[in-house]
Structure formats: C-alpha cells, structure tokens
Amino acid sequence: MKHVLDGLRVVELAGIGPSPHAAMQLADLGAEVVRIERPGGVTQLLPVDKDAGLRNRRSVSADLKDPADLARILKLVDKADVLIEGYRPGAAERLGIGPDVCRQRNPRLVYARITGWGQDGPLAPYAGHDINYLALTGALNAIGRDGDRPHAPLNLVADLGGGSMPAVTGILGALYARERTGAGDVVDIAMVDGVSALMTMFWTLTENGLWSDRRGTNVIDGGAPFYDTYECADGRYIAVGAVEPVFYAQLLAGLELDPAGLPDQYDESAWSTLRKTFADVFVTRSREEWVQAFAHLDACVTPVLALAEVPDHPHIAARNTVVTAFGQRQPAAAPRFAEAPPATYASPRTPGADTEAVFRDWGVDDDR
C-alpha cells in the first residue's frame, strides 16, 4: 500500500502561513516535499523542531540571491512536479525563480503562488493579514454579537480556509489537467478570493432576503438561542446547534423543558426570552453533567473543549484525530483513505539539514 501522493515531488520556497500549511498537507499525503530555506531559516514564533506545520519534509538551505545557489535550486525545480511560493507578486521573478523561468525549464511544472490579494489588482503590492482579507469580503462584518463590533476569529478562515485549502485544490486540479494536456500550469491562489468563495452560502442567503447584515441576528451567527453557547455551573460552556426542529425537540427534552410552555422555535420576537430560559437552565449543572444528560440524545449539543481537553474526548480519541509525534501533540493528517496506509509524522528538520542528501537523492548533478 502506498500513500496517495507517493512519487509526487514538491519544492516549497519557505514562507509562513498558508504556504507551509499547504505543503504540509501534500507531505502528509505522501508527497516528497523539499523546503528551500534561506540561510538561518525563516523568522517564526517558535523553534523549527517544535513546529508541527513543518513536519514530513526535508530542508535545503540556499540563498536565492546567490547565482550559484539559485542555479542549484533550479536544478531541483527541473525534477519537481510542483513548486509552492508565498512571496509578494513579482518577488520570485526578481529572484530569477518565477513561473516563466521555471516552466520554460520544466513545462510540466505546476507553479502555485499563494498571496493575500492575488497577483494583480490595486492591493496586490501591499501587505495584509487574515483580518484584512476577512474585512474586504464581508466575512468579518458578519462575525460578532448584535450591537457589538466585528470580532476577528482565529486565522483559520483566510490564511488556511481561504489560502492553503484552495492551494491544495488548485495544485491537485492542475496535476489532473496535466494528465490530459501534458503541461503544467500557474495557479494564482489569493486568500481574498478563497474567503469570498467560502462566503457563497451567505451571498446566496442575502440575495434571497434570508440573511441580515446586522450581525448576531441570524440563525447561524449566534442570533438564534438554539445556535449559541451557554455557561454551565462550573464556568465552562456548552455549544448548542439544534437548528432543525427534530434536533430542537431533543434539546428541549435534554433540558427537561415542556415545549407547550415555550414560544415557537422560529418566533424571532421571542428569541431573547427563549435564550434566557436556556441560560437559566444550563447554569444549574456542570458541563460534564450536561454532557451526560445529552449523551444519548441527537440534539447537536457538545461541550466546548479547551485544546488541552481535546485529545481525551472519546470521539477524538477513537479516531486518533490528535496524535503524538516527535514529543508533542498535534492534529492528525486529513483526510483518510481506505486503500492507503495511515499517515506518518516525521519531525521538522533543522534548516539546511538535508541539502546534500536531497541533491543526491533527486539525481541532480552538482559541479561544486
């Protein structure tokens, strides 16, 4: 049994954020990923050997501003199926490793470019962060409580959901097309585009009069009392997502509330009253007591877990959704395949640790 991307060769020009996350996903699925690090490595928040996002690939050190080092890396590109870079538009071209140069040498190469604003447009030359891409797509305006300012979520939405995930999709799509055409492609992945695509459902609801721009007042943005979090007696929280009537009925059963004495589920004028009713009940028991009360009810009610609690949850543990590798806990590779072996987790490498080994293993001639 082989991993699904066994035999795929990927050159990753070292960066931060979505580009290493995309490279990690390909490596987790069996691709041979080589990370090209500048001398000394990329500045980051923690030591390289502790960064689970850098697992499962080898590291080559090269100064792309040095013609000799650039020539060596271009020889690796000649052998690669995919190149991933996350520089500002034009930076790779200035370094001599842009898509025109690389694809002239290797026409089958899929060249993936991940940026915040894309390769063109008025904002393309400028910096940005997750919160900025959310702001420009309407996503940020939709996140928060009624009457409160917009709240920035974790940088899962733009950097990863709008960046690395579309990058992997684009790379695999270009590879599939290459099987028909024999030619690679240049994939322009913009986080602002990716977030906009994630907003498809909310555009559709808005265009059909089913979503309000007044945040915190809609069914699945915390506006509805049956789609919210509630504090328990021990100060911990329970998440409720009982949107459909069948689940809502189970929610009321678990709370031991008689529906006859409550307003209709979708009577928005009574949502504040219903929310107070739920809050008053949830606060009477601890989170664990509520977990037990809903254990056999299909009510879409779950505990809100801190990261430290996640690995011990029965479902997470049963699926090995969190694994321990190179001395620390980390998310398991996803997705899983019935006909492929489980993923393995090689520790992150010191920048440049594999330089000569990679050139030898890839069969690249080296005159130095």
CB 218 within 8 A of CB 212: yes
Q: What is the pTM of this model?
A: 0.95
| Tens of pLDDT, residue by residue, the chain (368 residues) | 799 999 999 999 999 999 999 999 999 999 999 999 998 776 666 777 789 999 999 999 999 999 999 999 999 999 999 999 999 999 999 999 999 999 999 999 999 999 999 999 999 999 999 999 999 999 999 999 999 999 999 999 999 999 999 999 999 999 999 999 999 999 999 999 999 999 999 999 999 999 999 999 999 999 999 999 999 999 999 999 999 999 999 999 999 999 999 999 999 999 999 999 999 999 999 999 999 999 999 999 999 999 999 999 999 999 999 999 999 999 999 999 999 999 999 999 999 999 999 999 999 866 55
3-state secondary structure of 228: strand
Whether 129 is catalytic is yes
Query: Which amino acid is it at 78?
Result: D
C-alpha–C-alpha distance, residues 319 and 265, integer Å: 34
> In 143-270, which ranges are continuous DSSP H helix?
165-181, 191-198, 200-207, 245-255
Structure tokens belonging to residue 344? 């393995």
| DSSP bridge pairs for 122 | none
Q: Is CATH 3.30.540.10 the classification given to domain 9-198+333-361?
A: no
CATH fold of 227-306: formyl-coa transferase, domain 3 (3.30.1540)
Residues present in the chain in total: 368
Q: State phi, psi for 61 to the nearest 5 degrees.
A: -100, 130
pLDDT of residue 366: 60
Which is the catalytic residue, given 51, 63, 129, 146?
129
Which is the catalytic residue, given 69, 159, 221, 354?
159
Domain edges within the chain: 9-198+333-361, 227-306
Q: Which has the closest alpha carbon to 265: 221, 206, 225, 316? A: 225
pLDDT of residue 306: 98
Q: State phi, psi for 326 to the nearest 5 degrees.
A: 35, 45
pLDDT of residue 367: 53
Parallel, antiparallel, or unpaired: how do β-strands 322-325 and 57-61 relate? unpaired
C-alpha–C-alpha distance, residues 288 and 234, integer Å: 9
By CB atoms closer than 10 A (0-12, 13-18, 19+), residue 56 is buried
Query: In this structure, what DSSP letter does residue 128 have?
Result: -
* Domain 227-306 in the same topology as domain 9-198+333-361: no
217-262 tens-digit pLDDT = 999 999 999 999 999 999 999 999 999 999 999 999 999 999 999 9
pLDDT of residue 43: 64
Q: Which has the closest alpha carbon to 191: 144, 90, 121? A: 121
Whether 315 is catalytic is no
Q: Which has the closest alpha carbon to 25: 159, 158, 130, 167? A: 167
pLDDT of residue 50: 85
pLDDT of residue 46: 76
Structure tokens belonging to residue 301? 């009610």
